Structure 1
Amino acid sequence: MTRFKYDIAKNNLSWENHQIRLCDKEACEDKGDYRAPKSRSNLNNYYFFCLKHVTKYNKSWDFYKGLSVDQIELSIRKDTVWDRPSWPLKGNPAKVMDQLKEFLMYDYSLFEKEKEIHDFLRNKLVDENITNEEHKSLNILELKMPISVDEIKKRYKKLVKIFHPDVNDDNKNAERKFKEITEAYKTLLKKFLRNE
């Protein structure tokens, strides 16, 4: 009878040769298949427990243990926005636009060109908050969103110098246009001064 040079046992194959992790609980000899974080400040470092001990550990685990009420509320608020900066989007549309532009350009750089940012923001945020009367007023003053109160005042002064009745002797069209400009100016000032 011929004998083989080497006897290969199935258990000794390299891809089957791995260590068995035991439960981290003292005096427990079961397999540690279930992981549990070691502490709130070190969530990526784990204990490995058997099912019995991981269940007991999870019942006693308190992520917020040792924190004050204010610290807990702050942690919950951060979690709701994935720990990103946030602020309310209300108030003067020009200020909101500046905040969003700064956020997109410097914090996340979603757009490469400033024109793309203006187009993106103008279409969504500001146009939804403008009434038909305010939209007509913008067209009369030949302004586009986003704008500030200073821009409205500059444009008004420029158009008034052109269409004022003292400059245009007995020109009914200029007088009518002057009245439209004045009404549009009042409408926009009312809107933007309220939102500042």
Structure 2
Amino acid sequence: MPGCDRHGEHKAPKNRGLNDYYHFCFDHVQEYNKAWDFFSGMTQSDIEAHIMQAMLWDRPTKRYDPAAAAAMEDELLKKAHEARFFHKRPHDHENQQKARQEHFRSMDDIRPAPEIEAMAIMGLEPPVDLAGIKAKYKELVKKYHPDVNRDDPKAEELLKSINMAYTILKAAFESYEKMMTGRA
């Protein structure tokens, strides 16, 4: 502030851009901040739009389009089909569980470890890490969540399988971590 000889170590924004600052002493920065209005010069609708954008962490959003989602190739089911866990119709959720069970029964009742089956359900292949499992889980939950698939009751069953697979893999990694670090 003019006439102030104290050190200006406190920043105060010059404008809404928040990339250019004044430097004031503590007393003057408090005075400036009390008088400064971030929304000065904005209309009510501009203010509401800014608040809404801030609620979304200033990230762009898109409306969910079920038709576009249905048109997208389902990578999880495609991989599972290629691994011969499902019937030839990748989008036939009802037959997926049956086909997976038949596949394992046809192996002379030799079932793979639960972790291997869980990886197949999630469409993962070794090697995997916990971060990769979590990322795939988030992707699948968004895709098969009942709120997104209201017209597909079988999506809920698939989501239950995905949740179980994630729980199995997460528990396996936590058990491994405990073993490697010597924690009980």
TM-score by length of 1: 0.39
TM-score by length of 2: 0.41
